[in-house]
Amino acid sequence: MRIWDLPPRRLCRQHLLGEHNELHGIWTIITQRRSGYAYHPETMRWRGKLKALFHRHELQVSEMLRRGYRHRSPLDARLAKGRQKQDKRVDSLVRQKWLLKKKGCDCLV
| Rounded-to-integer distance, Cα 15 and Cα 9, Å | 11
- Quick: pLDDT tens for 15-62: 999 999 999 999 999 999 999 899 999 999 999 999 999 999 999 999
User: Given a cut of 90, is residue 87 above it in pLDDT?
Assistant: yes
| Rounded-to-integer distance, Cα 57 and Cα 97, Å | 20
pLDDT band with cut points at 50, 70 and 90 for residue 1:
confident
Give percent above pLDDT 90 in the chain.
98
| Bridge partners for 82 per DSSP | 49
Instruction: Report domain extents, the chain.
Output: 8-103
Phi/psi of residue 49, nearest 5 degrees: -135, 40
Quote the pTM value.
0.95
Q: Maximum Cα–Cα distance for the chain, whole Å?
A: 39
Phi/psi of residue 11, nearest 5 degrees: -90, 140
Taking a C-beta distance cutoff of 8 angstroms, is the pair 81, 55 a contact?
A: no
Q: 20, 99, 3, 23: which is closest to 61 by C-alpha? A: 20
